[in-house]
Amino acid sequence: MTPPPSGPVCVGASTAAAGHPSTAVGYPPAAAGYPSFSSYVRARGPVLLRTARSLTANPADAEDLLQTALTKTFVAWERIEDHRALDGYVRRALLNTRTSQWRKRKVDEFACEELPEPTGLPEPDPAERQVLHDAMWRAVMKLPDRQRAMVVLRYYEDLSEAQTAEVLGVSIGTVKSAVSRALGKLREDPELSPVR
């Protein structure tokens, strides 16, 4: 494996996002490899910054969170042989960093038997879809940190309940109950009233 660069540890997340808009969506090809840590940050920075922004309401905090995760990745760079696993490594570092505070405080949780499922909606036109997307994202950002992280992992990152529980270091029942409460709050959000 190529050793880490001797120059700066990483480029700024916002710089990477601005400089490489074509990489802002999707994932690298299965056989993708990166010749250096810096090339990885330049290529994947936009997607990783988007994930960080979904975990905190403050854009500056999101950049700090991503920088911390990238620092951890740089330290482990030589041990990560499969570059297809890099995004997962950074995502786990983001979540571990963000959730460390949650483990220090007691939160009352209760399990529910069924997770409410959203009802199907007719396909809106592109303008209506964008308005709904923006309103939904604003509503998600109002959720408490813990619930927001679980909603992001379950519905934006498409992780299973078991994967979400493993990443956050909680039980599957905790994930189910927290997501259920989060969905209840989203249903009550006034901005989302037109879609109910």
Q: What is the tens place of the pLDDT at every residue in 176-185? A: 999 999 888 8
Round the average pLDDT of the chain to a whole number and report it. Answer: 74
Check: CB of residue 11 under 8 Å from CB of residue 41.
yes
pLDDT (tens digit, 9 = 90+) per residue, 77-88? 888 888 788 888
Q: If you search the block for the tokens 């909606």, which residue do you land on?
A: 121
pTM of the predicted model as reported, rounded to 2 decimal places: 0.44
Residues of the chain above pLDDT 70, percent: 68
Type of residue at 13: A
Higher pLDDT, 154 or 99: 154
Helix axes 172-188, 126-142, angle to 10 degrees: 120
